[in-house]
Amino acid sequence: MAKSPPLTIDEQPTTPGLSAGRHIPQAIGVYWPLLLALALFASLLWSGINTCRRQNDGQFIYPLDDAYIHMAIAKNLAQHGVWGVTRFAFGASSSSLLWSGVLGLIFRLPGSHDLVPLLLGAACGAAALSVVLWILLREEVPGLVVAVLLGGVVIGAPMVPLVISGMEAPGQILIDVLFLYAAARAAGGRVLSVRSTAAILVLAALAVAIRYEGLFLVGTACLVLAARGRWGLAFALGLAALTPVVIFGAISVRHGGFWLPNSVMLKGARPSFGSWRDAAYSLGGRAVEGLIVARWVGGLAVAAMVVLLIAFSKRREVSGRAGSSPAGPMLVISLGTAILHMQFAALTWFSRYEGYLVVLLMLAIAVALGRDRLGLSGLARIEAAKRIVAVAIAAAFCLYPVFANGIMALGQVPAASHNVYEQQYQMARFLGRYYSDDTVVLNDIGAVCYFGDVRLIDTQGLDGMEVARQRLARTYRSALAADIARRQDARVAVVYQRFLQEMGGVPEDWTPVGTWGIGDNLICGDAFVTFYALRPDEIPALRANLLEFNRALPIGVSRHVSR
- What DSSP line would sit under 296-362, residue for residue? HHHHHHHHHHHHHHHHHHTT-S-S--TT--SHHHHHHHHHHHHHHHHHHS---GGGTTTHHHHHHHH
What is the pTM (predicted TM-score) of this model? Answer: 0.91
Supply the pLDDT for residue 379.
47
Supply the pLDDT for residue 13.
45
User: In whole angstroms, what is the distance from residue 441 CA to residue 360 CA?
Assistant: 40
401 shares its domain with 448: no
Query: In this structure, is residue 25 part of a structural domain?
Result: no
Supply the pLDDT for residue 124.
98
Q: Domain span at residue 229?
A: 32-416
Higher pLDDT, 191 or 176: 176
154 shares its domain with 227: yes
Tens of pLDDT along 318-369? Answer: 444 444 678 889 999 999 999 999 998 877 777 888 999 999 999 999 998 8
Supply the pLDDT for residue 318.
47
Range of weakest confidence among 58-67, 171-180, 256-265, 349-358 = 349-358
Query: In this structure, is residue 56 part of a structural domain?
Result: yes
User: In whole angstroms, what is the distance from residue 172 CA to residue 259 CA?
Assistant: 22
Supply the pLDDT for residue 346.
76
Range of weakest confidence among 72-76, 188-192, 455-459, 469-473 = 188-192
Supply the pLDDT for residue 412.
94
522 shares its domain with 457: yes
Query: In this structure, is residue 441 part of a structural domain?
Result: yes
Q: Which residues contact 65 (CB under 8 A, 6 or more apart)?
A: 420, 424, 444, 445, 446, 447
Asked which of 416, 432, 460 is the last residue of a domain, the reply is 416
449 shares its domain with 352: no
52 shares its domain with 107: yes
308 shares its domain with 388: yes
Asked which of 384, 416, 448 is the last residue of a domain, the reply is 416
Supply the pLDDT for residue 2.
42
Query: In this structure, is residue 23 part of a structural domain?
Result: no
317 shares its domain with 456: no
Residues 52 and 67: beta-carbon distance below 8 Å: no
113 shares its domain with 218: yes
Widest distance between CA atoms in the chain:
92
Of 188, 187, 135, 224, the C-alpha closest to 323 is 188
Q: Detail the DSSP E strand segments found in 403-504.
A: 439-442, 455-458, 492-495
Query: In this structure, is residue 550 part of a structural domain?
Result: yes
Asked which of 416, 434, 451 is the last residue of a domain, the reply is 416
Query: In this structure, is residue 8 part of a structural domain?
Result: no
Query: In this structure, is residue 156 part of a structural domain?
Result: yes
**Could you give the number of structural domains in the chain?**
2
Backbone phi and psi for residue 336, each to the nearest 5 degrees, phi listed first: -60, -40
**Is a pLDDT exceeding 60 seen at residue 506?**
yes
Sign of CA dihedral 184, 189, 192, 197: positive
Angle between helices 116-138 and 169-187 (to 10 degrees): 20
101 shares its domain with 228: yes
Query: In this structure, is residue 7 part of a structural domain?
Result: no
**Is a pLDDT exceeding 80 seen at residue 316?**
no
Supply the pLDDT for residue 15.
46
366 shares its domain with 457: no
403 shares its domain with 433: no
406 shares its domain with 353: yes
Backbone phi and psi for residue 541, each to the nearest 5 degrees, phi listed first: -65, -45
**Is a pLDDT exceeding 90 seen at residue 142?**
no
